[in-house]
Structure 1
Amino acid sequence: MAELAKNTPNPLNTTVEEQVTPPWKEAWKSFCKNKLALVGLGIVIFFIILAILAPVIAPYGFKEQELSKRLLAPSSEHWFGTDDFGRDILSRILYGARISLWVGFFSVLGSAVFGTLLGIIAGYYGRWVDSIISRIFDIMLAFPSILLAIAVVAILGPSLQNALIAIAIINIPNFGRLVRSKVLSVKQEEYIMAARAVGMKDNRILFRHILPNSMTPIIVQATLAIATAIIEAAALGFLGLGAQAPNPEWGKMLSDSKQYLVQAPWTLFFPGLAIMLTVLGFNLMGDGLRDVLDPKMKQ
């Protein structure tokens, strides 16, 4: 009987083990159920691969000029046609993906870091600290984002790096206010009060307890903000305040080709299509993450 009992599996233990699922696996399963989110993820991965492999798959260099082939229509030799300098548009779009994604990722990274830091400080300490930081956010949000970005670039000077800095600055309030509202609710939880009661230092409470429990909205906002940053970078490039020639930034390509809208519409169509698809991909993926990670959306 003892040997039989040892070899007989405990159904209770089996059930408990089967029910324990890592949170990331559950989130991934929920994400995979959203077909549009998967489409967005596929678009994003596709453009990231294109950006990484641009030197390998681009048929020409993005600086190569051949004036005898200027403004050629799409063909087997030049799939997306050529621009007014005879440069291959497909090659420039592939290399331009590097610039747009680089600006999108690093500008959002900068705004997320500084915005999160300011939002945590404002929400945790409150009082006059919260008032000062919140008023700064309100002043920045009072200006249209593109006008504020233009002002920053006008002060720093037109360049791709300064455009990245400007985009990071104008997105700081979005992350700051989001994190501040989350911290205001998290700091009222019992485990935070218990940590204060035992004398735990503020920096440990902030970065070991409050920040990890505030990451969900930051991740969702960051994904959506990358799409916005790509559009803002293209807008600054279109105005001549972002990437400078001969860098193949998509907004700059649109600006250089706007006078050929009737004569050579492909010079505008393909860069515009690249911007639209990339932004669409990040927006669809961000919406899917929000549906998975936001408890209100689950309900």
Structure 2
Amino acid sequence: MAELAKNAAEMSKVHPEDTASPLKEAWRAFCKNRLALAGLGIVIFFIIIAILAPVIAPYSFKEQELTKRLLAPSSEHWFGTDDFGRDIFSRIVYGARISLWVGFFAVLGSAVLGTILGVIAGYYGRWLDTVISRTFDIMLAFPSILLAIAVVAILGPSLQNALIAIAIINIPNFGRLVRSKVLSVKQEEYIMAARAVGMKDSRILIHHILPNSMTPIIVQSTLAIATAIIEAAALGFLGLGAQAPSPEWGKMLADSKQYLVQAPWTLFFPGLAIMLTVLGFNLMGDGLRDVLDPKMKQ
């Protein structure tokens, strides 16, 4: 009996690592992915730059000095100057604020609206599902940038309207993703039990459906921010997004394209900023998908 009691006591011992929360386990798995950590580092780097832009930037982003136009990178102007003599480094630093602002809020809007529509379509089904799903199919039939151009053409070219357009074209991506997840979750036994005891639909959706559908939304949001930044840059390049003298990276590329041979640095550094930011969000999003998606776990 003493031996049995001893064995039972040993088996009952719980190690801290065995009781780690899912969040801690996910973080540990994320930290093992070096590419994901590199992406997180890049994202944090640009966020810090955006927050501390007035401290980091040596000049005002709209300060013009025509006597110093198209100067090559130097100790005075690290990234050179543009055709108006404005410091490119300062404009890129302030441009980080615009790109991240558009990326975060456009995705936030599309995620909220897409989630609501996806939940309604997946949970209630019938004619609501048909109408919402066919609307998503129609929107996805158009190239995203073409649809964004159409929306901005209707609303008028500006940074705010570009943000609205980007949010609209990303709604179907979130809506279809959430709909498929809700269709799967609502078949679980605990959902059927909740219905059997008379729990209201609103309570089921808020306390059971949505919490169990957040994983794909988080992953999709991270990847969608990268796409939103590219789309904002594309609209800015076409003259439909941010307007002068805004230091938006796509607008900077558009203003400098005629100086590709004469002053290549005017295009190189804004393009590099776009590439690094998008790369950071993509690497971080892939890492989150590997950690949070059960299908990706080995």
TM (norm. structure 2) is 0.96
Q: Which residue identity lines up with residue 273 of structure 2 in the other structure?
A: A
Query: Structure 2: where are the runs of 5+ without partners?
Result: 1-7
Deviations 1:123-151 (CA, angstroms, capped at 9, x unpaired): 00111110000000000000000000000
Show the counterpart of 1:218. 217
**How many residues are aligned here?**
291
Show the counterpart of 2:31. 32
Alignment of 1:115-154 (within 5 A): 115-154=114-153
Matched, 1:280 2:279: yes
Deviation at 1:16, TM superposition (A): 5.4
For residues 135 and 276 of structure 1, the distance between their equivalents in structure 2, rounded to whole angstroms, comes to 34
For residues 85 and 108 of structure 1, the distance between their equivalents in structure 2, rounded to whole angstroms, comes to 33
Q: 1:17 to 1:281 in 2, by over 3 A?
A: closer
Deviations 1:224-244 (CA, angstroms, capped at 9, x unpaired): 000000000000000000000
Alignment of 1:236-275 (within 5 A): 236-275=235-274
Deviations 1:88-129 (CA, angstroms, capped at 9, x unpaired): 000000000000000000000000000000000000011111
- SS at 2:24's partner residue? helix
Deviations 1:249-272 (CA, angstroms, capped at 9, x unpaired): 000000000000000000000000
For residues 65 and 220 of structure 1, the distance between their equivalents in structure 2, rounded to whole angstroms, comes to 42
Deviation at 1:17, TM superposition (A): 5.1
Q: Which residue identity lines up with residue 228 of structure 1 in the other structure?
A: T
Q: Which residue identity lines up with residue 127 of structure 1 in the other structure?
A: R
For residues 32 and 124 of structure 1, the distance between their equivalents in structure 2, rounded to whole angstroms, comes to 36
For residues 172 and 24 of structure 2, the distance between their equivalents in structure 1, rounded to whole angstroms, comes to 32
- SS at 2:199's partner residue? coil
TM (norm. structure 1) is 0.96
For residues 17 and 78 of structure 2, the distance between their equivalents in structure 1, rounded to whole angstroms, comes to 53
Deviation at 1:70, TM superposition (A): 0.1
Show the counterpart of 2:5. none
Q: Which residue identity lines up with residue 212 of structure 2 in the other structure?
A: N
Q: Which residue identity lines up with residue 22 of structure 1 in the other structure?
A: S
Show the counterpart of 2:13. 14
For residues 89 and 219 of structure 2, the distance between their equivalents in structure 1, rounded to whole angstroms, comes to 32
C-alpha RMSD over aligned residues: 1.0
Q: Which residue identity lines up with residue 240 of structure 2 in the other structure?
A: L
Show the counterpart of 1:4. none
Q: 1:89 to 1:207 in 2, by over 3 A?
A: same
Q: Which residue identity lines up with residue 164 of structure 2 in the other structure?
A: I
Show the counterpart of 1:196. 195
Show the counterpart of 1:6. none
For residues 231 and 141 of structure 2, the distance between their equivalents in structure 1, rounded to whole angstroms, comes to 17
For residues 16 and 230 of structure 2, the distance between their equivalents in structure 1, rounded to whole angstroms, comes to 47
For residues 207 and 107 of structure 2, the distance between their equivalents in structure 1, rounded to whole angstroms, comes to 23
For residues 286 and 130 of structure 1, the distance between their equivalents in structure 2, rounded to whole angstroms, comes to 29
Show the counterpart of 1:59. 58
- SS at 2:135's partner residue? helix
- SS at 2:13's partner residue? helix
Deviation at 1:19, TM superposition (A): 1.6
Identity %: 87
For residues 42 and 130 of structure 1, the distance between their equivalents in structure 2, rounded to whole angstroms, comes to 40
Deviation at 1:13, TM superposition (A): 3.6
For residues 82 and 131 of structure 1, the distance between their equivalents in structure 2, rounded to whole angstroms, comes to 54
Query: Structure 1: where are the runs of 5+ without partners?
Result: 1-8
Which segments of structure 1 move beyond 4 Å, counting only runs of 4 or more?
A: none
Q: Which residue identity lines up with residue 62 of structure 2 in the other structure?
A: K
For residues 235 and 17 of structure 2, the distance between their equivalents in structure 1, rounded to whole angstroms, comes to 53
For residues 255 and 176 of structure 2, the distance between their equivalents in structure 1, rounded to whole angstroms, comes to 38
For residues 17 and 68 of structure 1, the distance between their equivalents in structure 2, rounded to whole angstroms, comes to 66
- SS at 1:15's partner residue? coil
